[in-house]
Structure 1
Amino acid sequence: MKYHPIDNALFIKNRKDFMAQMKPKSLAVFNSNDVYPIGADSTMPFQQSRDLFYLSGVDQDESILLLFPDAVEEKHREILFLTETNDHIAVWEGEKLTKEKATETSGVTTVYWLQEFDKIFFELMSQANTIYFNTNEHYRATNVVTETREDRFIKKTKQQYPAHNWAKSNPILQRLRSVKNPIELELMQQACNITEKGFKRLLDFVKPGVWEYEIEAELMHEFLRNRSRGFAYTPIIASGKNACVLHYVENNQQCKDGELILLDVGAEYANYSSDMSRTIPVGGKFTKRQKEVYNAVNRVKNEATKMLVPGTIWKEFHKEVGKLMTSELLGLGILDKTDVKNENPDWPAYKKYFMHGTSHNIGLDPHDYGILWEPVQANQVFTVEPGIYLPDEGFGIRLEDDVVIQENGAPHNLMRNIPIEADEIEELMNK
């Protein structure tokens, strides 16, 4: 990893909070992600299971965390199992975590090599009545991979221990991961700071004739040189009408004078995500119409942000933002009163021009865990990202910041230093 060491107090607290919600005489197991093949002997870059990372800070493959608060022996209440490092691995892959380094990283004092797992697991299952399995139950999850490492572990364990009860770790993690620890907020701020550096670099770089992929390269350069692994998600760099394709990721077109570029990009840092949207003029100046629409989107974003306070219900929040957007679209002449009067309540008139949601949880994943039917809480982190898309006029505008819900008052904007006002962007692009 490129990031600075993380205070293991974060992972110690996360495990303590998780174990406090486990049933008596139960244990929980968390497996690392697989290294996924591409073809021949090529693989995709490894990314750790976010749940395992959240509970341990361990960021290497073939790792297992076992939690058993009622274990007979105190040393077996928290255990890490890791691939044994040796001289051969050190030469070919780089040295893996030693037992001492794993304890320093995670705060887990009992570390075994992976080949000891089956024996120790059998011993501990004889003391347990229930095992917690870790499945991905995010509301947007899609899994086209046949079997993950976690899936294989669950299938094997159910076959070998059919008399045990089993429970789900995900509901506990959904609740815990949605509210951020101060250390997590610092890591997310760092991800946003790196994104800020990338965006400011672009304001000096973008000129008519530049290609979308050249903009992507500038961002990646800035991200990597600031200890990020790169983009937190596939970047969207959409010029002209491309901005009206919500998940445009080809990034292969030339940017022309008079067009706008919609940027939906964010750096990751220490596995934590940032998620920013900005829209900038290729030639350094908005047209009158572009600026009118831009400022309308920005007003919606600012008013929507103020609504994200403790107690807010996510679905109701989106309805209120829809009313703000409807008002702005009427003012722009994009909608008229007849459109609103005759609208389908299940798909209001504004949805033709603003068809996606306004906010989602963000954290270890760009679309992070969060229980959306419960009231918003302090220290949850949300994006705020309204947009207006006008393919007939050849442009789309989306503006997005990441904000931390506060106990009192308006949310704290982690992207407060990233330019967003239209006049400021023009000034910086033409300095």
Structure 2
Amino acid sequence: MKYLQISNQLFIKNRKKFMAQMQPKSIAVFNSNDIYPISADSTMPFEQHRDIFYLSGADQEETILVLFPDAMSRSHREVLFVRETNAHIAVWEGEKLTKEKATEVSGIQTIYWLSDFDKVFFDLMTEADTIYFNTNEHYRQSVQTQTREDRFIAKCKQDFPAHQWAKSNPILQHLRGIKEVEEIALMQQACDITEKGFRRILGFTKPGVWEYEMEAEYLHEFVRNRSKGFAYTPIIAAGNNANVLHYIENNQQVKDGDLILMDVAAEYANYSSDMTRTIPANGKFTDRQKAVYKAVLRVKDKATKILVPGTIWAEYHKEVGKLMTSELLGLGLLDKADVQSEDEKWPAYKKYFMHGTSHHIGLDTHDYGELKTPMKANMVFTVEPGIYIPDEGIGIRLEDNVVIQEKGEPFNLMRNIPIEVEEIEELMNS
């Protein structure tokens, strides 16, 4: 891994919180992700399942975590199974976790080789009444392939039909949504790396460059700062490309007079940042571009102040809609008749701002976190309003990542990333 080793105290704390929510005489199992094939002998780069990482810090394939707080043997209350390493694997694939290293990373004292799993797990299940399955219940999930977790669940239901089943996801939605101090520090590091990439781009961008060249500049800066790269597929959208919300081709040449919308950010230690900035290709906003830009920035700043403990996510978005409606009236994009005759299910502002304003962020870019209960301190959200005007070739979105505080306004993890019109123009022309 490129990142510096994380203190295992974070993972010890996370496991303690999870186990405190488990039913009596219950066991929970978490599997690593598969390495997914492309074709022939090619595979996609390995990405660890965020839940097993959150609870153990183990960032390696073929890993299983078992939590059983009521196990008769104290040594079996936390168990990590890892792939047995040897000299051959070391030569061909590089260093893998030894038992000693697995303990160092995770804080788990009992480490077995994966080949021992079936025997040990059967023995533990004779003591348990309930097993927690780790299903994916994220509101945006759209999984079309069988995962390692899916295969484990199917086998477990077949082998242990008399056990009760429970879901780990509701516990994880609550726990992962509220960040520990150590997690916020890792997210700050991801944001700081993103800042370095953005400042590099401000000095690089000019009419005639290609979107993919800008993507490459970001990647260079991210990787040289211990990130493995992008937290998500980057959007580098010049001109009207910015009006395609998920434009990822990044294959067009930047023209004089274009605005360039960049939704691009670094990960660090599996934690995401999520930034959007919009800059003028030639280093100078036109008056119209500036007016729309400042309207988006005002909405972002006002929306951020609403993110306080007790706020309900759905109600928050309604309030942001009112802020955006006011700005669109001021820009002449809506008139009072548009607002008076609007459909409540699709308000008038949605013509120019059709996506949500905020989502949880953390180990996943669209992270776990409760959305139907009041917001709590140490939740981390994006704030990302936009205005999209295809007829004028203008698409502007601005996005920061903020931490909800017990009192006062949220803390902006991207406070040092330039966003004001004057600062962007000055840096692009210096």
TM over 0.5: yes
Task: Give the aligned residue type for 2:398.
Answer: L
Question: Given residue 3 of structure 2, which amino acid in structure 1 is its aligned partner?
Answer: Y
Query: How far is the alpha carbon of 1:341 from its aligned partner?
Result: 0.7
CA distances 1:98-137 after superposition (whole Å, capped 9, x unpaired): 0000000000000000000000001000000010000110
**C-alpha distance in 2 between matches for 1:349 and 1:318:** 14
CA contact (8 A) 1:210 1:255 kept: yes
Deviation digits for residues 271-315 of structure 1 (CA, Å, limit 9, x no counterpart): 000000000000000000000000000000000000000000000
Q: Distance in 2 between matches of 1:138 and 1:57?
A: 21
Distance 1:330 1:397 in 2: 17
Q: Please list, as runs of the form range in 1=range in 2, the aligned pairs for 1:136-215 lying within 5 A after superposition.
A: 136-145=136-145, 147-215=146-214
> Which residue identity does 2:184 align to in structure 1?
L
Q: Which residue of 1 aligns with 2:78?
A: 78
AA matched with 1:273: S
Opposite residue 28 of structure 1, the aligned amino acid is: A
- Shift of residue 42, structure 1, vs aligned partner: 0.3
Are 1:296 and 2:295 counterparts?
Answer: yes
Whole-Å Cα distance in 2 between the matches of residues 354 and 95 of structure 1?
48
Q: CA deviation at 1:395?
A: 1.5
2:40 aligns to what? 40
Shift of 1:323: 0.3
Shift of 1:268: 0.2
Deviations 1:145-192 (A, max 9, x none): 1x1000000000100000001100000000000000000000000000
Please state whether the residue corresponding to 1:220 is helix, strand or coil: helix
Distance, in Å, in 1 between the alignment partners of 2:319 and 2:23 is 40
Q: How does 1:68-107 map to 2 (within 5 A)?
A: 68-107=68-107
2:226 partner letter: R
Task: Please list, as runs of the form range in 1=range in 2, the aligned pairs for 1:242-261 lying within 5 A after superposition.
Answer: 242-261=241-260
Write the distance in 1 (CA, Å) between the matches of 2:124 and 2:74.
12
In structure 2, the residue matched to 1:386 is: 385
- Aligned runs of 1:401-420 on 2, under 5 Å? 401-420=400-419
Aligned-partner SS, 1:27? strand
Native 8 Å contact 1:329 1:335 kept in 2: yes
1:51 aligns with 51
Q: Give runs of aligned pairs for residues 259-338 of structure 1, distance below 5 A.
A: 259-338=258-337
SS in 1 for 2:405: coil
In the other structure, the counterpart of 1:355 is 354
Q: Which residue of 2 aligns with 1:367?
A: 366
Q: Distance in 1 between matches of 2:340 and 2:127?
A: 65
Give how far 1:144 is off: 1.0
What count of residue pairs does the alignment treat as equivalent? 430
One-letter identity of the residue aligned with 2:136 = N
Counterpart secondary structure, 1:85:
coil
1:201-226 alpha-carbon deviations (Å, 9 max, x no partner): 00000010000000000000000000
Distance in 2, Cα, partners of 1:293 & 1:26? 55
* 1:6 counterpart SS class: coil
Task: State the Cα deviation string for residues 335-355 of structure 1 (Å, max 9, x = none).
Answer: 011111111011000000000
- Runs of 4 or more consecutive aligned structure 1 residues displaced over 6 Å after TM superposition: none
Q: Name the TM-score, length of structure 2 as normaliser.
A: 1.00
Distance 1:235 1:184 in 2: 23
Q: Is the 1:86–1:95 contact (alpha carbons within 8 Å) kept by the matching residues of 2? A: no
Alpha-carbon RMSD across the aligned residues, in angstroms, is: 0.4
CA distance in 1, matches of 2:50, 2:95: 22
Residue 370 (structure 1) shift: 1.2
TM-score normalized by the length of structure 1: 1.00
The CA deviation string for residues 239-278 of structure 1, in whole angstroms up to 9 with x for no partner, is 0000000000000000001000000011000000000000
**Matched AA of 2:21:** Q
Please tell me whether the aligned partners of residues 84 and 114 of structure 1 are also in contact (alpha carbons under 8 angstroms): yes
What residue is the counterpart of 2:16 in the other structure? 16
Q: Which residue does 2:7 correspond to in 1?
A: 7
User: What amino acid maps onto 1:254 in structure 2?
Assistant: Q
Alpha-carbon distance between aligned partners in 2 of 1:332 and 1:83, rounded to the nearest angstrom:
60
Q: Which residue of 1 aligns with 2:67?
A: 67
For structure 1, the residue ranges without an aligned partner over 5 or more in a row are: none
- Residue 95 of structure 1: how far off its partner (Å): 1.8
C-alpha distance in 1, partners of 2:140/2:119?
A: 37
* Aligned equivalents of 1:430, 1:265: Cα separation in 2: 22
Q: List aligned pairs for 1:101-120, cutoff 5 A.
A: 101-120=101-120
Deviation per residue, 1:381-431 (Å, 9 max, x gap) = 000000000000011000000000000000000000000001110010001
Q: Are 1:395 and 2:394 counterparts? A: yes
Unaligned runs of 5+ in 2: none
Partner of 1:131: 131
% identity of equivalent residues: 75
Aligned partners of 1:340, 1:122: CA distance in 2, in Å? Answer: 63
- Per-residue deviation, residues 312-336 of structure 1 (Å, max 9, x unmatched): 0000000000000000000000101
Contact 1:237 1:261 (8 Å CA) reproduced: yes
* SS of structure 1 residue aligned to 2:187: helix
